[in-house]
Amino acid sequence: MRIVIAGGHGRIALRLERLLAKRGDEVAGIIRRTEQAGDVLAAGAEPVVCDLESASVEDLARHLEGADAAVFAAGAGPGSGIARKDTVDRGAAALFADAAEAAGVRRFLVISAMGADREPPEGTDPVFAAYLKAKGAADADVRARAGLDWTILRPGLLTDEPGTSLVALADATGRGAVPRDDVAAALVELLDEPGTIGRTLELIGGEVPVAEAVRAVAQR
């Protein structure tokens, strides 16, 4: 497969690139700054410099031509303000979906956030609340697109602990933490499982091997 990842220098994206390259896929990671290229190359992916906050649909679609799947893993990241939560976590997701449709790439995965489907609780930090709202709006946009075979993955609290390859994956899991290693592993399995198309799934650490958890969800 050829897979294009938006946010190719992110901590989940770099892990995903390594896994996909290891199994023989051709991977491109879209990055904002040229100085990020070395890390993407080291992960086994082709770095593609394209600013998702300023690119046109046509520009981005050219990078998606010939791809079998697209993964939205971009985010404004820690330290960004409310405005960039909207322009990246919502706006860039919509742009990437537009470009995938324009390039004829149907398989489309999104890394979202647990809690994006409801109003943030009273007292939530305003920037984090804006992040959740932006993620929720992006998810709603993707779900409305008949031109995409989408799957939305909402991990719990992300950690950099070594992956266990044991997870809980369901429409609703409850709160919990999950290593980024295991999120990347779940994305690899989701890419190959058409039974998860049209599903919004939550992921936390659990007791079921990743591949088995994805197969089980696809059969429900």
Active site residues: 131
CA 165 to chain centre: 18
Pairing state of beta strands 199-205 and 46-49? unpaired
Q: What's the CA dihedral at 147, 82, 39, 16 to 10 degrees?
A: -40
Assigned token pair, 84 = 């960039």
Identify whether the C-beta of residue 64 lies closer than 8 Å to the C-beta of residue 99. yes
Q: Measure the CA–CA gap between 36 and 40, rounded to whole angstroms.
A: 7
Q: Measure the CA–CA gap between 215 and 123, rounded to whole angstroms.
A: 38
**Amino acid at position 171, single letter:** D
Identify whether the C-beta of residue 48 lies closer than 8 Å to the C-beta of residue 29. yes
Assigned token pair, 165 = 């390859």
Identify whether the C-beta of residue 96 lies closer than 8 Å to the C-beta of residue 61. no
What is the CB neighbour count within 10 angstroms for residue 177? 12
